[in-house]
Structure 1
């Protein structure tokens, strides 16, 4: 389609598309599922917590709950086969253990890597295989500002998020010739269950808010627009990219505001 044929009034519409959102039971995943459905997509709300997925599905039309444990490779393979043609894959599930490296245990390391990186690897392989065979698709995974900016106590989480970026970029290079686009979204601090520990401490909460140019945290719904954009025809030439949705955190990190 050239620019003379493009209907810009439908640039973000996702009618007749099937999206799978992994981690749709809460937070960014839930808002992503609702936003995709609002643009006309048929959305499978996948989550290990089926009740939470059903709660998301009950909030709008064209939403269906699906129980999926992404730590089970066989379950991911089954889902990719069972759910049929999938045009859009979004995965948000992640965990974090906030400890300094010298205090970390091997079990904790394995737990964070298993969900944040290995599960992502399995999802890309299983769903990307079918997208490549059909010749189209959009995959997006959630990285983090921690892929590029670190702080004490975030070592393994940061390593997995940086690794995820390179995994997604490589998938973009490998699947691009088959018409599949692959991108990363990198949020800043967002009010989700994963950040509840920080939010509960007012001093931490305020300090994190001041790190962004907008001087506040994000809410999960503020990430949904990035998901719709990367899923839609508005981004047909965007792949292998990292879309920062961080309120300017990475632009102004480490800044000093001198007194007037």
Structure 2
């Protein structure tokens, strides 16, 4: 007899989820987790963004969703807040930045900016929240990586290096925290229609090339990242850890979009 209730295996009722980075994809993820029953704490450097996401989650059932302005590069403030939010069951990390430049054109300051937010802040955020998950013997951490953790293009080198680095942290955390019942996974989006990619979509040729690179032949919508995150957060993924779920429309599965002649 299975101990898993199939009728509720995707539900998150009674669980506290923290989403770090609540603009764009993060806002959709927060809404998706709340729809599955979780109580949300929305964290963002911009307090207004965090509050806007909290307002979107208004719940007639009385769940007390919260918003907190926090700079994840401020280690002391981050750890202090993690100490206040003690009963965290789900931690989702979405905050990232990119500077599109060829590697030889990068400045040291730009390198530090990308590595600082994408890699070091991810490291510190898990260090802040995971210990209490370990103490309780359960928890799910989901980090957003990228197709750039696997494949690269000119101008994306430092960003790609940080996302590959995050995935190696995910694998290591899964090994180190797994015995305590804490699962750590990643979701790797492909090209998604967000304000951060507006520059690409404004260039018709560039935007079309990205759309045609995937097997589905289009860009993703932010809400299409939500299902994978909710699954990894839930009991439905109770034996999944150390994995990177590609939500990329087949980008990393296909070798270009040209269909050669057959016969």
TM-score range, shorter chain: over 0.9
Q: Is the 8 A contact 1:144 1:186 kept in 2?
A: yes
Moved over 3 A (4+): none
What RMSD, in angstroms, separates the aligned Cα atoms of the two structures? 1.2
Q: Residues of 1 paired with 2:246 and 2:100: CA distance?
A: 23
TM-score by length of 1: 0.96
Aligned match of 1:47 in 44, 47, 71?
Answer: 44
Aligned match of 1:19 in 17, 20, 24?
Answer: 17
Q: Which residue of 1 is the match for residue 78 of structure 2?
A: 76
| 2:196 matches 1:194 | yes
Q: Which residue of 2 is the match for residue 6 of structure 1?
A: 4
Paired residues, number: 257
Q: Residues of 1 paired with 2:255 and 2:244: CA distance?
A: 18
Q: Which residue of 1 is the match for residue 130 of structure 2?
A: 128
Report Cα offsets for 1:35-62 as digits up to 9, x if no partner: 0001110000111111111111111224
Q: Residues of 2 paired with 1:193 and 1:201: CA distance?
A: 14
Aligned match of 2:216 in 189, 214, 225?
Answer: 214
Q: Residues of 2 paired with 1:137 and 1:68: CA distance?
A: 22
Secondary structure in 2 aligned to 1:66? strand
Q: Residues of 2 paired with 1:72 and 1:23: CA distance?
A: 14
Aligned pairs for 1:99-114 within 5 A: 99-114=101-116
Offset at residue 6 of structure 1 (A)? 2.4
Q: Which residue of 2 is the match for residue 86 of structure 1?
A: 88
Secondary structure in 1 aligned to 2:7? helix
Secondary structure in 1 aligned to 2:183? strand
Q: Residues of 1 paired with 2:67 and 2:203: CA distance?
A: 34
Offset at residue 184 of structure 1 (A)? 0.7
Offset at residue 259 of structure 1 (A)? 6.2
Offset at residue 191 of structure 1 (A)? 1.0
Report Cα offsets for 1:67-120 as digits up to 9, x if no partner: 111111111101110112100000100000000011111100000000000000
Report Cα offsets for 1:186-220 as digits up to 9, x if no partner: 01001112212212212111110000000000011
Q: Which residue of 1 is the match for residue 53 of structure 2?
A: 56
Q: Residues of 2 paired with 1:257 and 1:59: CA distance?
A: 44
TM-score by length of 2: 0.95
Note the residue ranges of structure 1 that are not aligned, 5 or more in a row: none
Q: Is the 8 A contact 2:214 2:257 kept in 1?
A: no
